[in-house]
Amino acid sequence: MPMVTINGVEVEVEKDVSILEAAAQAGFDVPHFCYHPALSAPANCRMCLVEVERAPKLLPACYNPVSDGMVVQTESEQVVRARKAVLEFILVNHPVDCPICDKAGECKLQDYYFAYDAQESRMRAEKQHKVKAYPIGPRVVYDGERCILCTRCIRFCEEISGTSELTLADRGDKIEVRTFPGQELDNDYSLCTVDVCPVGALTSRDFRFKCRVWLLTSTESICTGCSQGCNIHLDHFRNETQRYRPRYNSEVNDYWMCDDGRLTYKNLHTDRLLSPQHNGATDNWHTLTKSVAAKLEKQIKAHGEESIALVLSAQAACEDIFLAKLFHEEILGKKAQLYIAGKPSGKHDDFLINADKNPNRRGIEAVFAKLDGIKDVATLAGDITAGTIKTVYMMGTEFGEGDRSEAVAALKKCELFILQSTQGADLLDVAHIALPACTHAEKEGTFVNEEGIAQPFYKAYEPHGDSLPDWQIFMRIAKAMGKSTLNFTFLSKVQDRMFEATELLRKAEEEAAAAAKKAAEEAAAKKAEEEAKKAEESAAATEEPQDSTPS
C-alpha cells in the first residue's frame, strides 16, 4: 500500500485513495464544496487545491489519487492564498444573507469564509441577481443567488435516485440549477439534495424558518417510517422534534433516507395520549393500575385466560415486546391469545423504501423466536364477535391490513378494552381504560430492521405529559397484581435478560432446525436405499434365463 506524507505526517493508505481521503485518515480536513464521499468527484469548485511536491501546480485533492512517496501540503502559503481567491470569486455575486438563511450555522461557505477569507468584498458593481425562493419541487426551495454550482444535487439525482431531474441552465454569471422542462424535483428522495447542498441554495420547505440550527440538540435515533430502519439524527428543541436527518450507516442506509420517512417526525406530536384515562375521565397512574389489575383478575376468574387477547405492536421496541411477553406468560397466563398489529403495507422500491411500514416486526420474531401461535390482528374482530375473546389489551392503534371500522365496532362489544398507546385516534372513545405510552423519541430501546440488524435508539427528551415507556407500564400493572417477577430497575437489566432469552431461543431454534434437517436426510437416505433395493429386485425378476442348448 502507498505510503504518503501529509503535512509531515506519514500515513499508509489503500491504493487509488484520493489525496483528500488520505488527508482525512492522517487527521487533516481539506476544505471542499463539490466533493461528497458517495458521489463522483468533478473537481469543479477548486476549494480542495493542495500542494504536491514536484507537481507543477496545485492539484484538486478530491480528484487526484495518492502515489507511494507522495508529499503533500494542505495548509501552505500558496494553498491558503488559492483558497482565499476561490472564496472571493464565489462571493462576488453571493447575497451574503446569512442572518435570514436557514443554512446559517451549518453552511460550509460561512465556515470557510471565517477560516480563510474574512475580508471585505472588493466588488463595487451591482451583483448579478437570480431567482429567489423558487419552489423547485413540492418539498424543496431553490435560491439561485446562494448557489455555488457545486453540482452535488445534480449528481445525486443522476447517480443515487436515478431520476435526473436537475441540470445547469444558462452560462457565465447567469448560470443556475434548474429542472428539465416539464419536470420538478419530486422523487422519493428529493430532500437528500438539501442534505448534500453545502450552502443555503436548497432548503426544505418543511423546515424553512422553523428553528435556528444552533438551538437544536441532535440525538442518534432510528426512522420508524418502515422496516428499513434508516439511521437518523433526531434534531429537537424544547422537547419537540423539529426534523430528521440521515445518519451514515454503510450497512443500512448509507448517507440517505426517503422523504416520507423524514417527515414521520410529525407523528410524534399528533393526537398524543398524555394522561391515563378511565371511561373517558383523567386519572392517575397509582389509582388506575390498581383498577386495571382488579379488572384483569376479575376477567381471568370469570372467563379464563383464553378469553383475553394481548395485541402486540410492530411499532414498539424490542424491550417493550419482551416485557409484553413476560406479562403474557406470568400475568395474563400462557393460554391468553396473542395477536400482532402494525401499520398496513405501503409503497416500496429497490433502494430504501420497504413495503412493511413497521420498524420492529423482526424484533417481535426475535423476542418470540418465531410467530407460530401469534395471530394476525385482522382475525381479532371475528374472534370477539364469536365470543371467544372477552378482554382486549392492545398496544398501539394500528390494525394492519384488516378492516378498521369492523375492528373498532367489534371492540365496542368487549367487556374490557385496555388501550396502551402513544395516540388515542378513534380508539380513545371505545377504550374503557387508556394508558399513555412514550414515543421512541422519549425513551431508549432497540429496533430490528428487515435484514435482522438490531439497532439502538436513544432518548432525545423527557416524556410528554404522564406518558411512560411500555415496559414500565407492564411492570406497574404486574406490581399492582402482586407479581414481583416483572421487576426491573433499569432498562439495561431488561436488555440483559432479553438478549439472554433471545439467544437461548435462537440456539433452541437452530438445534431444532438441525435435528429436523438430520431427520430429513436420514429419511431421504433410507428412502433412496429402499428404492434402490426395489429396483434391484425388479431387475432380477425380469431378467430372461439364458438358453444352454448346443447349436
Where the chain has pLDDT below 50, the residues are 551
Q: Do 468 and 342 share a domain, yes or no?
A: yes
Q: Do 371 and 335 share a domain, yes or no?
A: yes
Q: Do the domain assignments include residue 58?
A: yes
Given 90, 125, 148, the domain boundary residue is 90
CATH number of the domain encompassing residue 289: 3.40.50.740
Number of domains composing the chain: 3
- The number of beta carbons lying within 10 Å of the beta carbon of residue 199 is 21
CATH number of the domain encompassing residue 79: 3.10.20.740
Sequence-ordered alpha helix ranges (H) in 128-209? 152-159, 192-196
Given 48, 69, 90, the domain boundary residue is 90
pLDDT in tens, 192-242: 999 999 999 999 999 999 999 999 999 999 999 999 999 999 999 999 999
Its domain, for residue 31, covers 1-90
Q: Rounded to an integer, what is the distance from CA 224 to the centroid of its chain? A: 6
Q: Do 400 and 497 share a domain, yes or no?
A: yes
Sequence-ordered alpha helix ranges (H) in 304-348? 318-327
Give the whole-angstrom CA distance, residue 195 versus residue 543: 81
Q: Do the domain assignments include residue 55?
A: yes
Q: Rounded to an integer, what is the distance from CA 35 to the centroid of its chain? A: 25
Q: Do the domain assignments include residue 182?
A: no
Q: Do 22 and 47 share a domain, yes or no?
A: yes
Q: How far is CA 350 from CA 172, 228, 252, 306, in A?
A: 39, 11, 13, 42
Q: Do 257 and 348 share a domain, yes or no?
A: no
DSSP strands (E only) in 373-443: 374-376, 391-395, 416-421, 433-436
pLDDT at 546: 53
Q: Do 247 and 355 share a domain, yes or no?
A: no
Q: Do 264 and 282 share a domain, yes or no?
A: no
pLDDT at 551: 45
pLDDT at 403: 85
Give the whole-angstrom CA distance, residue 119 versus residue 171: 28
Q: Do the domain assignments include residue 410?
A: yes
The grid cell for 102 is 436557514
Classify residue 317 as exposed, middle or buried by CB count within 10 Å of its CB (0-12, 13-18, 19+): buried
Q: Do 401 and 472 share a domain, yes or no?
A: yes
Q: Do the domain assignments include residue 180?
A: no
Give the whole-angstrom CA distance, residue 177 versus residue 175: 7
- The number of beta carbons lying within 10 Å of the beta carbon of residue 270 is 9
Report yes or no: 472 and 494 within 8 Å, Cβ to Cβ.
Answer: no
Q: How many helices (H) and strands (E) does the chain have?
A: 13, 23
pTM attached to this predicted model: 0.87
Of 180, 159, 182, 161, the residue nearest 169 (C-alpha): 180
Residue that the C-alpha cell 480528484 belongs to: 63
Q: Do 308 and 418 share a domain, yes or no?
A: yes
Residue type (1 letter), 329: E
Q: Do 248 and 285 share a domain, yes or no?
A: no
pLDDT at 373: 83
Q: Do 255 and 346 share a domain, yes or no?
A: no
- In the sheet that holds 374-376, the strands lie side by side as 281-282, 277-278, 433-436, 416-421, 391-395, 308-313, 337-341, 374-376
The grid cell for 284 is 392517575
Q: Do 249 and 343 share a domain, yes or no?
A: no
Q: Do the domain assignments include residue 485?
A: yes
Q: Do the domain assignments include residue 540?
A: no
Q: Do the domain assignments include residue 14?
A: yes
Report yes or no: 142 and 136 within 8 Å, Cβ to Cβ.
Answer: yes
CATH number of the domain encompassing residue 260: 2.20.25
